[in-house]
Chains A and B, each alone.
Chain A
């Protein structure tokens, strides 16, 4: 079972920031939070990951709470091409084979 909880859907106006929440209250101390997205009819795409510090790259920012029980993915200026399903994944560590366990994700609809 996925170890994360996300809202099933969200809307965002084009050009505005999209803030996608994720709860991972049972996260272990050495587990990372990963975000992937899947645009319709494509394979998933890696976005960003973090352990406890906030992270930023060219695609997004990741804000992790101090207790690490939740995080927020921020797309600073959403475009129509950001419409996708966004998956928040806590990386299994014990006996880690590297596999990703996907939940249902959040369907983000960016509207003009």
Chain B
């Protein structure tokens, strides 16, 4: 079946511009996550959505970053007034169940969006 999809696959923008990154999770998955991976760095958690609960925004690096998930499905990550340090691969993941450490909780990742801020 279809996996997690993200768009665009690549985005080049100028410093100071706003960007929107889109994630389409696997159908039926209730949990959705955003991570980012800077060049040579590990994966860094950004934000997490689970059903109708308030999102966990603890990983967002600044108030220029925000995300929403409409209708419990598609999510958009918005970065305002982009800076060069925002350049990274932004990864989205979804899982069927969350909050439980056992089976059914594995996360399925999309291919990522490579953001380059000039």
Contacts and interface: CB of A to CB of B under 8 A. Distances in A.
B42 A102 contact: yes
Interface in A74-106: 87, 91, 93, 96-105
Interface centre among A38, A87, A98 (most CB of B within 10 A): A98
A43 interface: yes
Given A42-B112, A44-B93, A100-B35, 20 more contacts: A32-B102, A43-B4, A43-B111, A46-B106, A46-B108, A51-B101, A51-B102, A91-B101, A93-B101, A96-B101, A97-B50, A97-B56, A97-B58, A98-B105, A99-B48, A100-B45, A100-B107, A102-B35, A102-B43, A103-B42
A40 to B, nearest CB: 12
What 9 A-B pairs come out closest when comparing CB atoms? A43-B109, A98-B98, A46-B106, A102-B43, A97-B56, A32-B101, A99-B45, A91-B101, A102-B42
Interface class of chain A by DSSP: loop
A19 to B, nearest CB: 22
Interface string A3-44: 000000000000000000000000000111010001000111
Contact of B109 (A30, A45, A91, A99): A45
- A interface, size bucket: 20 to 34
Range for the number of chain B residues in contact with chain A? 20 to 34
A105 B4 CA distance: 23
